[in-house]
């Protein structure tokens, strides 16, 4: 091989080597950053797992509490229905039938007050 070809090959090899060296030098910080990113991603993944576990636990607690609230609401509804039935009974059977007599209560009260006043008692 002639010397000019050897020099050209050497220069090309030197340029390729320097290019590769610059590439490696520029990639080392990127690789280190990628490693730190992976470490942070692992920590984040663990936190997400813990949060998901906690969310499932809280979901179970909320489900239990909602069942208890449903029970309380059902019982309250039954109590209100029974109270409504009782008030309907009182209104229909007692108050309507005795409305005429209840109209005389103020007159009876006034009469009683007059009797007390006449007797002089308190």
pLDDT digits (tens, 9 = 90+) for 2-20: 888 889 999 999 999 999 8
Tokens of 29: 């910080």
In angstroms, the CA 15 to CA 23 distance is 12
Predicted confidence at residue 121, as pLDDT, reads: 61
Q: Which residue has the higher pLDDT, 93 or 81?
A: 81
pTM comes to 0.46
Q: Per-residue pLDDT for 80 more than 90? A: yes
Of residues 97 and 110, the one with the higher pLDDT is 110
Q: Is 1 helix (H, G, I), strand (E, B) or coil?
A: coil
> Tokens in use for 94?
């007692």
The rounded Cα 85 to chain-centroid distance in angstroms is 37
For the chain, the average pLDDT equals 89
Residue 51 has a pLDDT of: 96
Residue spans of the domains in the chain: they are: 3-119
Q: What is the pLDDT of residue 72?
A: 92
Instruction: Give the residue-averaged pLDDT of 65-89.
Output: 92
């Amino acid at each position: 091989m002639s010397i000019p070809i050897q020099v050209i090959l050497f220069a090309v090899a030197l340029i390729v080597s320097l290019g590769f060296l610059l590439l490696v030098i520029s990639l080392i910080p990127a690789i280190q950053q990628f490693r730190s990113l992976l470490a942070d991603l692992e920590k984040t993944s663990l936190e997400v797992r813990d949060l998901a576990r906690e969310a499932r636990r809280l979901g179970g607690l909320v489900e239990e509490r909602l069942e208890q609230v449903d029970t309380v609401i059902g019982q309250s509804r039954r109590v209100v229905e029974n109270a409504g039935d009782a008030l309907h009974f009182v209104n229909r059977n007692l108050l309507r039938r005795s409305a005429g007599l209840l109209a005389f209560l103020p007159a009876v009260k006034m009469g009683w007050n007059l009797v007390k006043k006449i007797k002089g008692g308190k």
